[in-house]
Amino acid sequence: MPARLHAIRRKRSIGAALLALLGALALACTVGTPAYANGLSNPDRGNFPIIAGSEVGVPNGYCSVGAVLVPSSIFQRLTPYQRAVRYLVLAKHCAPLNSPIYFAQQDIGDVVWQSAASDIELVRVSPSRDNMALHCAGLSTPATCSPIQTFTPRANGQVFMTAPPSPIVGRRAIAGTGIPSATGTFCTSGHVTGVICDFQPTSLPVGTRRAYEHLAAGQSAVVGALRPGDSGGPVVSKDRRLLGIISGDVPNTHFIVYTPMAQVLHELSRYTLAPAN
């Protein structure tokens, strides 16, 4: 029978949570790395600001953030509030249109757009409101003072990634977008499995059923390298260029599939990568 693509969104149900925990423990025993009880490969993935590789809660589970965008039009960046709004790219199968998305036990925004054919969607994230400050001007006494309201973005253009030669995973500035090298390896940074850098570009086996269009594939030396909850996370080069958005895998094989960033930015042509801070 043709292989079926397997979406990798982590379920919230108790039974699924137990299965995920058992799987994480089994992985820890195999490779000798700790598994966090909440499913996070790194607890910082659950802290603000949100970046590529952060965990978000969706109606039926958890997914990873693939990229953070801002509108490219100056007319959508006129006010301090507008300049602090951010947009998250997730996998379309993570949440229905208009669904609320959660982070750190907060409702951070809704799904405002979904692709017609690709496995991508967009979440609008409003900024946090800073404490009001007074701005005073003038040489006369008393000075003329006006209240000034400022805002802080709750997401920015970084990614959870290593910085070779250091193996430590941290918040790193994204160096742009790109495509995988035909002869090199690339990485994923899902919130469950963390940074994995042994994928090579490949083609899916003949007859593989694709739930979405515009998918590229990678092949790992490990069967089932990704885990539930990695869906939507970033596919990234070792020099921190975004290559795509994780869609899923082919069960019991070495293959993963993702939506290339070229396709993402083609469909979201009015957006660009958010600044790193």
pTM of the model: 0.85
Distance from C-alpha of 228 to C-alpha of 58, rounded to nearest angstrom = 13
The whole-number pLDDT of residue 207 equals: 85
Within a domain: 135? no
Cα 62 to Cα 70, 158, 233: the distances in Å are 23, 20, 11
Within a domain: 90? yes
The whole-number pLDDT of residue 112 equals: 99
Place of tokens 């495509």: 179
Sign of CA dihedral 232, 238, 240, 242: negative
CB 221 within 8 A of CB 196: no
The whole-number pLDDT of residue 135 equals: 75
Helix, coil or strand: residue 97: coil
Within a domain: 139? no
Within a domain: 1? no
Distance of CA 256 to the CA centre of its chain: 16
CATH number, position 252: 2.40.10.10
Per-residue pLDDT of the chain (277 residues; tens, 9 = 90+): 445 566 666 665 434 443 333 333 332 322 222 223 346 789 999 999 999 999 999 999 999 999 999 999 999 999 999 999 999 999 999 999 999 999 999 999 999 999 999 999 999 999 999 988 777 876 666 777 888 899 999 999 999 999 988 889 999 999 999 999 988 999 999 999 999 999 999 998 888 888 999 999 999 999 999 999 999 999 999 999 999 999 999 888 999 999 999 999 999 999 999 999 9
The residues near 129 (Cβ < 8 Å, ≥ 6 apart) are: 149, 151
Place of tokens 């000034």: 148
Using only C-alpha atoms, the chain has a radius of gyration, in whole angstroms, of 20
The whole-number pLDDT of residue 37 equals: 34
Within a domain: 144? no
Within a domain: 117? yes
Domain containing 30 equals 6-129+152-273
The whole-number pLDDT of residue 209 equals: 86
Distance from C-alpha of 112 to C-alpha of 121, rounded to nearest angstrom = 8
Distance from C-alpha of 222 to C-alpha of 100, rounded to nearest angstrom = 34
DSSP annotation of 208 reads -
The whole-number pLDDT of residue 170 equals: 96
Count up the domains in the chain and report the number: 1
Distance from C-alpha of 9 to C-alpha of 93, rounded to nearest angstrom = 8
Within a domain: 219? yes
Within a domain: 147? no
